[in-house]
Chains A and B, each alone.
Chain A
């Protein structure tokens, strides 16, 4: 059974940093591109970042470019999101999501974690 479990969320002050993790199991992690998607309270879904299987291709939404860094450790079956210079508008539930098709980033997302809440507030 595919499982994605996010952790690392919490309350942080504006300008602060946070590192999210996503532990994957139930599939061959190294063969799937991975993604972060967020959802502000009461709002819609916003794609944040994607990373290819070997980390060769990395993409960011303009809203987080230069502040967030996605990475993965295939040996540990884990995905990460380092978030720096956090702003109030980054407050959201952050979901880890797997690509539907192996090896390509050009894919819908078929498995989602339960999400971890990040709150940016003074």
Chain B
């Protein structure tokens, strides 16, 4: 099975900072990669799919890139409401594995 590895596992940044989270697949998955945001006490929310397509309603400060095995989620200007744990997930084939998550906090 393909493993999904996120880094870092947590980060602390200041409001306005550019934040980058990486996700690496153990084998190529083309662009079948989604990013989710889960705020404390809330349900996961789909942010990006097809590696770089923003889900409707998601602020444009979020962006995704990558293909094959290496992917990134970027928050161009971190806002207080972005405090959350972010997960990547492959969806090219079963099992639809999630990364272990990256917790983002405000410094």
Q: List A residues at the B interface (Cβ < 8 Å).
A: 35, 37, 44-47, 50, 59, 61-62, 95, 97, 100, 105-110, 112-115
Contact with A along B35-64 (1 / 0, CB 8 A): 010100001111001000001000000000
Could you say which residues of chain B place their CB within 8 Å of the CB of A114? 43
Say whether B43 contacts A106, CB under 8 Å.
Answer: no
Could you say which residues of chain B place their CB within 8 Å of the CB of A115? 43
Tell me the dominant secondary structure on chain B's binding face. Answer: loop
Q: List B residues at the A interface (Cβ < 8 Å).
A: 1, 32, 34, 36, 38, 43-46, 49, 55, 85, 87, 89, 91-101
* 5 nearest CB pairs, A to B: A108-B34, A59-B94, A108-B49, A44-B101, A47-B96
Tell me whether A46 and B32 are in contact in the complex, defined as CB-CB below 8 angstroms, given that A110-B55, A114-B43 are known contacts: no
- Which residue of B43, B44, B94 contacts A50 across the interface (Cβ within 8 Å)? B94
Known pairs A44-B98, A50-B94, A108-B89. 8 more at Cβ < 8 A?
A44-B99, A44-B101, A45-B98, A95-B43, A100-B46, A108-B49, A109-B46, A109-B89
A97 to B53, CA, bound (A): 19
Tell me whether A106 and B93 are in contact in the complex, defined as CB-CB below 8 angstroms, given that A44-B98, A45-B101 are known contacts: yes
